[in-house]
Structure 1
Amino acid sequence: MRNMLRAAAVGAACTALSLTSAVAQATPGGPGVTGKVLAQKTIGDRDYILREVTIPPGQGTGWHYHDGTLYAYVKQGTLSHFDATCASDGVYDKGSSLKEPSGADHVHLGQNRGATDVVLEVLYVLPHGAPFAEDAPNPGCTFQ
């Protein structure tokens, strides 16, 4: 039920944004990880950005954190998500949603351990002008 509510919230927020099309730089990660801005709107001191992120098989996002909260919907594939303790904090199949909290104390990594592309629709709720992500060093995990 909670995943359905999150997916509905992401969908409603995405619908509320006026659509624009632009290509954005990918968060540093493995080869072929890409991101494309689908919509963007600034309200007050917040940027609301809808972005499609694609992670090819065997690749990942690189260790990072965000200055604002992210809401993601898995459109295709299966995302494996890890926190700074090197523990899995979720495996998200097609149709699942997840929330990534903000701040340097929430360093994480997303990986595609499957055989098909992972495609995410991500709603970024960021302070105005903040980057999509802030790079972070590997916290000591034996995988990248």
Structure 2
Amino acid sequence: MRTALRTAVVGVVTAAALTLCGPARATPAGPGVTARILAQTTVGGTDYTLREITVPPGQSTGWHYHDGPLYGVVEQGTLSHFDATCGSDGVYRTGATIREPSGSDHVHIGRNLGDTPLVLEVLYVLPHGSPFSKDAPNPGCAFQ
């Protein structure tokens, strides 16, 4: 599945792909959460960006949502995904795929409850110029 996602992305991403490093964007992301851009391009009014996100054991992405859909593959570790009701809406192990819908009505958090780093490869499909994510307050969950 990982090869299929990468092949699809490569078909969309042009030779203008860049490699940059920076923190993942969410509020508040746990210490040590990082992301790097593997490739990106804009087609029409849509930005396509492939990022690798690493979440250390015990940390999270912080509560957030996206202006466009995301498609991901768990490269390493286990992603525990929670929605704004504080309920688990999925546990994704190495090799699993995930799709996150867009919009402020889809606030969520990704957590690494395991003892190894969680590594995700994520394709963002966003309106041109949109941030990777938009911060959202904790909806009242006992965890962050």
Name the stretch that deviates more: 19-28 or 110-119. Answer: 19-28
8 A Cα contact 2:23 2:33, kept in partner: no
Paired residues in the alignment total 139
Could you tell me how far apart the structure 1 residues matched to 2:22 and 2:41 are?
15
Q: TM-score, normalised by structure 1?
A: 0.92
Q: Percent identity?
A: 62
Over aligned residue pairs, what C-alpha RMSD do you find?
1.2
8 A Cα contact 2:33 2:54, kept in partner: yes
Q: Which residue number corresponds to residue 12 of structure 1?
A: 7
Could you tell me how far apart the structure 1 residues matched to 2:42 and 2:23 are?
19
Amino acid at match of 1:26: A
Could you tell me how far apart the structure 1 residues matched to 2:58 and 2:142 are?
15
Q: TM-score, normalised by structure 2?
A: 0.92
Deviation for aligned residue 1:8: 5.8
Alpha-carbon displacement from aligned partner over 1:22-59 (angstroms, at most 9, x marks no partner): 12332130000001000000000000000000000000
Aligned match of 1:24 in 4, 22, 30? 22
- Provide structure 2 residue ranges, at least 5 long, that are not aligned to the other structure: none
SS of the counterpart of 2:30?
coil
1:124-139 maps to which residues of 2 (within 5 A)? 124-139=124-139
Q: Which residue number corresponds to residue 43 of structure 1?
A: 43
Deviation for aligned residue 1:15: 1.9
Could you tell me how far apart the structure 2 residues matched to 1:129 and 1:43 are?
12
Amino acid at match of 1:110: G
